[in-house]
């Protein structure tokens, strides 16, 4: 156990036990006096290094690996060995390391999770151990937990069911909560709800570390989720719970069921919506087409796609459109084509986005029994094209060229992750639109050449949103996370757009500025929470100070040995 007193830390751990604690280990940075006090002489080489020197050594080692998966494994091991050093390395090199810690490399990390597994991090809560959830959560090591990211591993990025390997996503998300949002790592907890897997490769893999069982569904699944949420609320009444990478049939359903029981949100539904909306609001500064005149086509009418459409539609209403006018401006395309009134098998969250049959009666179609994406682009002439389908290449050359024919500055966001699942590459979009498209991608791509110079492509990724949302909500103790708070986050992101001052600049701030973005988003979210009555006993003039005080900076504190 350890206690923080002012700028110092008091702990009873010593020798190997101290070095084995990733939250307390300093490695070669323990001072001579600390090595005396904690019996570390001989366990460490004699040279005493600073944190900056350690970061330089680890960065050199990292760059020596040949593949990003090797770098991912290196960083995961560093995180499990010395968290302060890991986060100092991450915060100081966000642009270089974000694609390794997060998407796209985290996808490969999930696929290889069983082989990369070294030390336990977070919690694996499985169906066979449902009765033990309360006891597992009760351990004193979790007393400081304030933020949880949870997945059941069924829809990992665009890769599908990864079973227990999905734990890589909560670990990665919470790394960004700390690296970008400043939450202290001791207050975060990644959780994998192991309800089995339908991935035949996992089930047949002798090294698979998860529960080797077909994925549980129906009432048994719901009962397990209920047991988990009930235990979480009992253990941490004020916790922030983020749902991550649940299948579309569960994502919105779970959000609707629990959003009024605790401070919770679904990043795939609401975070993706906020970053897409914020980036579109930024694009309007460049295109000159007001929000009330936008027409939006979305490929992928799952929970993420409908979440995006829902928030943009709300922004249109704020801008002056009526509900009925706004509803006509969305064209949701799924595996069976455009969502139209009368279609069967639709989910409840898709129902608000059905196009009227009469409105498309005179469209010219390639196939009369199905309205494909290209049909939508040619007939509806959308100003915005967004992809969350996980279908690589779905934004074909004819589709993109049709967007360019209908718009002087088409807005095209292939947002599916990882890069292997993107609907189109920035290079192709740039070529097919003669350099006129405003492009946003979900994962990082190499720069493109625009007007003879290298131009970084905007990474329209949730990392611009969720760290600030969590930081703002926790800093003021918000009771709930509301749609209004996500709208505030989207508008705050748009307010940070470099394109506001120069239309030739990027729509989003650089990845290296994500900590600043998180602060801006957190302030907007906290103020909105206060406005909506989700905050108690905190004056408005204290909110920013609370947020700044909540942001942890990775640095070593001096240690004192506990007496007795």
The pLDDT tens digits for 293-339 are: 999 999 999 999 999 999 999 999 999 999 999 999 999 999 999 99
Q: Which domains does the chain have, with CATH numbers?
A: 50-246 (3.40.50.10380), 270-462 (3.40.50.720)
What is the C-alpha to C-alpha distance for residues 195 and 126, in angstroms, rounded to an integer? Answer: 6
Beta bridge partners of 482: none
Query: CA 67 to CA 65: how far, in whole Å?
Result: 6
Contacts of 221 (CB under 8 A, 6+ apart): 195, 250
Which residue(s) pair with 211 in the sheet? Answer: none
Cα–Cα distances in Å, from 100 out to 128, 231, 354?
33, 33, 38
Q: Tokens at residue 464, please?
A: 């611009």
Cβ partners under 8 Å of residue 25, min gap 6: 18, 19, 81, 82, 83
Other Cβ atoms closer than 10 A to 356: 11
CA 350 – CA 352 distance, rounded (Å): 6
Q: Which two tokens stand for residue 104?
A: 């796209």
Neighbours of 318 (CB within 10 A): 12
Contact at 8 Å (CB) between 82 and 554?
A: no
Establish whether 102 is a catalytic residue: yes
The pLDDT value given to residue 1: 46
* Active-site annotation holder among 173, 248, 491, 550: 173
pLDDT at residue number 368: 83
User: Any idea of the CA torsion for 236, 242, 247, 249, to the nearest 10 degrees?
Assistant: 70
- pLDDT of the residue at 5: 44
Report the distance separating Cα 240 and Cα 480, nearest Å: 9
Q: What is the pLDDT of residue 158?
A: 86
List the beta bridge partners of residue 553: none
- Residue 461, annotated ligand binder? yes
CA distances from 85 to 60, 346, 467, 560 (A): 14, 48, 20, 20
Max intra-chain CA distance, the chain: 84
Neighbouring CB atoms inside 10 A of 235's CB total 16
Weakly modelled stretches of the chain, pLDDT under 50: 1, 5-6
Please pick, among 72, 87, 102, 208, the residue that the annotation labels catalytic.
Answer: 102
Nearest to 329 by CA among 304, 348, 312, 307: 312
pLDDT value of residue 476: 98
Q: How many residues does the chain have?
A: 564
What's residue 2's pLDDT?
A: 58
**Residue 363 Ramachandran class (φ > 0 left, ψ -120 to 50 alpha, else beta):** beta
* Residues 6 or more apart in contact with residue 108 via CB below 8 angstroms: 68, 69, 72, 418
Q: Is 268 annotated as a binding residue?
A: yes
Tell which residue, 224, 169, 161, has the closest CA to residue 198.
Answer: 161
Q: Residue 9's CB: how many other CB atoms inside 10 A?
A: 16
Query: Which H or E run includes 4?
Result: strand 2-5
Give the whole-angstrom CA distance, residue 22 versus residue 356.
57
What the block records as the tokens of 527 is 């103020």
Q: What pLDDT score does 34 carry? A: 97
Strands (E) in 323-431, as ranges, are 330-334, 337-338, 384-387, 411-414
Burial state string for 380-419 with b = 16 or more CB within 10 A and e = fewer than 16: bebbbbbbbbbbbebbeeebbbbbbeebebbbbbbbbbbb
Residue 244 marked in a binding site: yes
Instruction: Mark out the alpha helices in 328-453 (DSSP H runs).
Output: 373-380, 397-406, 426-432
Q: Is 417 annotated as a binding residue?
A: yes
Cα 463 from Cα 290, distance rounded (Å): 26
Selection from 342, 311, 343, 339 nearest residue 326 by Cα: 311
State the Cα–Cα distance between residues 276 and 273, nearest whole angstrom. 5
């Amino acid at each position: 156990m350890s206690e923080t007193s002012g700028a110092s830390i008091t702990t009873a751990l010593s020798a190997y036990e101290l070095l084995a604690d990733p939250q307390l280990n300093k490695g070669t940075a323990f001072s001579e006096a600390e090595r005396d006090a904690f019996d570390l002489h001989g366990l460490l080489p004699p040279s005493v290094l600073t944190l900056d020197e350690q970061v330089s050594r680890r960065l050199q080692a990292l760059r020596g690996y040949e593949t990003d998966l090797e770098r991912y494994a290196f960083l995961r091991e560093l995180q499990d060995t010395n968290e302060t050093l890991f986060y100092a390395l991450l915060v100081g090199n966000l642009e270089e390391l974000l694609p390794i810690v997060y998407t796209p490399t985290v996808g490969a990390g999930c696929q290889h999770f069983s082989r990369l597994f070294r030390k336990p991090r977070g919690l694996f809560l499985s169906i066979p151990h449902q009765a033990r959830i309360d006891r597992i959560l009760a351990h004193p090591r979790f007393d400081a937990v304030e933020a949880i990211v949870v997945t059941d591993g069924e829809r990992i990025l665009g890769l599908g069911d990864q079973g227990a390997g999905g734990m890589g996503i909560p670990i990665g998300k919470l790394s960004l909560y700390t690296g970008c949002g400043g939450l202290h790592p001791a207050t975060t907890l990644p959780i994998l709800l192991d309800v089995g897997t339908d991935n035949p490769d996992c089930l047949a893999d002798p090294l698979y570390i998860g529960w080797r069982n077909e994925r549980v569904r129906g009432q048994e699944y719901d009962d397990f989720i209920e047991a988990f949420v009930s235990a979480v609320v009992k253990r941490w009444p004020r916790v922030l719970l983020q749902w991550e990478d649940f299948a579309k049939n569960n994502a919105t359903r779970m959000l609707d069921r629990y959003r009024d029981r605790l401070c919770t949100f679904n990043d795939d539904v609401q975070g993706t919506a906020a970053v897409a909306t914020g980036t579109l609001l930024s694009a309007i500064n460049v295109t000159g087409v007001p929000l009330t005149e936008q027409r939006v086509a979305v490929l992928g009418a799952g929970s993420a796609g409908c979440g995006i459409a829902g928030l943009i539609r709300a922004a249109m209403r704020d801008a002056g459109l009526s509900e009925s006018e706004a509803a006509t401006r969305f064209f949701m395309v799924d595996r069976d084509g455009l969502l139209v009134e009368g279609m069967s098998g639709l989910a409840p969250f898709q129902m608000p986005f059905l196009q009227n049959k009469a409105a498309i009666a005179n469209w010219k179609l390639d196939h009369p029994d199905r309205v494909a994406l290209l049909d939508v682009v040619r007939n509806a002439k959308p100003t915005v094209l967004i992809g969350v389908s996980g279908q690589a290449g779905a934004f074909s050359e004819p589709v993109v060229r049709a967007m360019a024919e209908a718009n002087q500055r088409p807005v095209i966001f292939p947002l599916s992750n990882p890069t292997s699942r993107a609907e189109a590459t920035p290079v192709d979009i740039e070529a097919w639109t003669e350099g006129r498209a405003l492009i946003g991608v979900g994962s990082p791509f190499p720069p493109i050449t625009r007007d003879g110079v290298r131009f970084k492509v905007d990474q329209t990724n949730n990392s611009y949103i969720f760290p600030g949302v969590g930081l703002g909500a926790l800093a003021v103790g918000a009771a709930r996370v509301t749609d209004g708070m996500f709208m505030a986050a989207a508008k705050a992101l748009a307010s940070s757009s470099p394109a506001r001052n120069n239309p030739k600049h990027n729509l989003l701030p650089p990845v290296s500025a994500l900590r600043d973005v998180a602060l801006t988003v957190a302030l907007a979210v906290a103020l909105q929470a206060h406005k909506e009555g989700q905050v108690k006993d905190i004056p408005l003039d204290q909110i920013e100070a609370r947020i700044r005080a909540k942001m942890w900076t990775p640095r070593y504190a001096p240690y004192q040995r506990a007496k007795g």
